[in-house]
A and B are shown apart, each in its own frame.
Chain A
Amino acid sequence: MIQEARARDTTGILAEMADGETNDVEKTRAEDAAEGALAYLTEMSPDLRGGAILGSDGTVLAASGRGDRWGEDAAALLDVADRAGDEAVEQVHIATEQGEVFALRHAGLTAVAVTERFALASLFFFDMRSVLRDLAAGGDGRRADAA
């Protein structure tokens, strides 16, 4: 009952706000959810060194460490990957001597992760996809394991 009232109030407040303010609130909410999702991914994957979640326009919603660098370098990687073929890539997996890089696009969101060498790619992609699917559905990424 209280929750219903609170939801009604929240909707009312959001409706009364100017467009700019609503967008800011939505953005903050998306960033909070993405940060939760990234923390969950880190918790689930002991091999993870760092990662980022990007929005559909390329903005960094969450990142471990320097968000600006993650945004630039992830965009550069995806740009190179898109140019390498005749269509947009869905997943990228690059294994080097220093570590492994995974990138995944799903439902307009992008997750990028750097892991230790020999991380299990299929498991990693599964986790990343689950988290993005939950985020895209309006969740916080933590219900990914229930999917």
Chain B
Amino acid sequence: MPPKPHRVLLDRVSGYADEAAAYMRRRRVSRQPFARLYYAGGRASDHAADSLAGGELFVSAGRLIEVAGKRPKP
């Protein structure tokens, strides 16, 4: 007997949600710090933390993070 149509829809939506949750979990575990610059025209460049420009970018970013402080409580 074929499953009811709404069951098919629910299963499909649950599947997508599970995939998305797994993707976010993997992203949290595996993502490394990065510095990425974007230019007019869509060009982008990555700078490793151990490069000269990358190091300076991370130091500048660290200062801004310090200025911003913690997230204000709602």
Contacts and interface: CB of A to CB of B under 8 A. Distances in A.
A49 B68 contact: yes
Interface stretch (B1-9, B10-18, B26-34): B26-34
Given A49-B71, A95-B34, A77 B39 contact: no
B31 A95 contact: yes
Contact of B68 (A64, A87, A91, A92): A64
B57 A98 contact: no
A93 B36 contact: yes
B68 A96 contact: no
Interface residues of B, number: 30
Contacts of A64: 68
A117 to B, nearest CB: 8
A143 interface: no
B37 A50 contact: no
Given A80-B57, A118-B28, A50 B69 contact: yes
Interface residues on A, range: 35 or more
B28 A99 contact: no
A47 B74 CA distance: 11
Contacts of B58: 94, 96
A84 B47 contact: yes
B53 interface: yes
Nearest to B56: A80
Interface in B34-74: 34-40, 45, 47, 53, 56-58, 60-65, 67-72
A103 to B, nearest CB: 9
Interface of A: 47-51, 64-66, 69-70, 73-74, 76-77, 80-81, 83-85, 87-99, 101, 112, 114, 116, 118
